[in-house]
């Protein structure tokens, strides 16, 4: 079950147990979902709950536009590049990174690039006990971005495209695209 809550509170039963109470806008689907979860509990199973800040999902339109511009940038670069390489470069410049870094012995650096499909950036190196270690930040792929994160990526890619003389959407068209993020079944 996945739903958006508009309020949350903590209540206590007479036996001292805590209950999380939330207010949600769509009660019709919620009733069905809760009934299914109650059945799981009735069968002696436990539930796992995760409550986190709501982030509006971005639509595939933003991702499609990202790849379209990466393709045009790849063609414009001299010598021409592969669009996947441009995408990785744009992620390095404007993307989001995982919280933790990875450190490996220098000889294993190529393995990290292969294992992450180049979704990493070497940020430093150090020496320990006579061995050189390379430190990497792992880049999150855009498919995991929320609207704000994708907006930063798209804005960066648009500026790169403009700098190369590539025609991009107008600011108004970009605003329309951004306003549609999170809505399903819409095309550019």
Question: What is the sign of the dihedral through the CA atoms of 7, 9, 13 and 18?
Answer: positive
pLDDT of the residue at 91: 95
pLDDT of the residue at 58: 55
> For residue 48, how far is the Cα from the chain centroid?
23
> For residue 21, how far is the Cα from the chain centroid?
28
Q: Is the peptide bond before 111 cis (omega within 30 degrees of 0)?
A: no
Query: pLDDT digits over 34-44, tens only?
Result: 888 888 889 99
pLDDT at 181 over 90: no
pLDDT band at 140 (very low <50, low <70, confident <90, very high): very high
What does the alpha-carbon distance between residue 149 and residue 58 come to, in Å, rounded to a whole number? 9
Query: pLDDT digits over 51-87, tens only?
Result: 877 766 555 588 889 999 999 999 998 788 899 999 9
């Amino acid at each position: 079950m996945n739903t958006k809550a508009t309020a949350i509170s903590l209540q206590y039963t007479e036996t001292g147990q805590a209950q999380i109470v939330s207010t949600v806008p769509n009660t019709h689907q919620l009733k069905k979902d809760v009934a299914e979860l109650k059945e799981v509990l009735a069968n002696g199973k436990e539930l796992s709950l995760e409550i986190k800040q709501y982030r509006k999902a971005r639509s595939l339109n933003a991702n499609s536009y990202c790849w379209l511009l990466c393709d045009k940038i790849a063609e414009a670069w001299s010598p021409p590049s592969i669009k996947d390489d441009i995408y990785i470069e744009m992620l390095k410049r404007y993307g989001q990174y995982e919280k933790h870094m990875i450190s490996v012995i220098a000889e294993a650096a190529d393995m990290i690039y292969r294992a992450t499909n180049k979704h990493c950036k070497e940020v430093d190196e150090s020496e320990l006990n006579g061995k050189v270690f390379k430190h990497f930040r792992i880049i999150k792929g855009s498919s995991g971005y929320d609207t704000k994160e994708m907006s930063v990526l798209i804005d960066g890619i648009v500026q790169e495209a403009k700098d190369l003389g590539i025609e991009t959407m107008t600011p108004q068209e970009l605003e329309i695209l951004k306003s549609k993020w999170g809505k399903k079944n819409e095309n550019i």
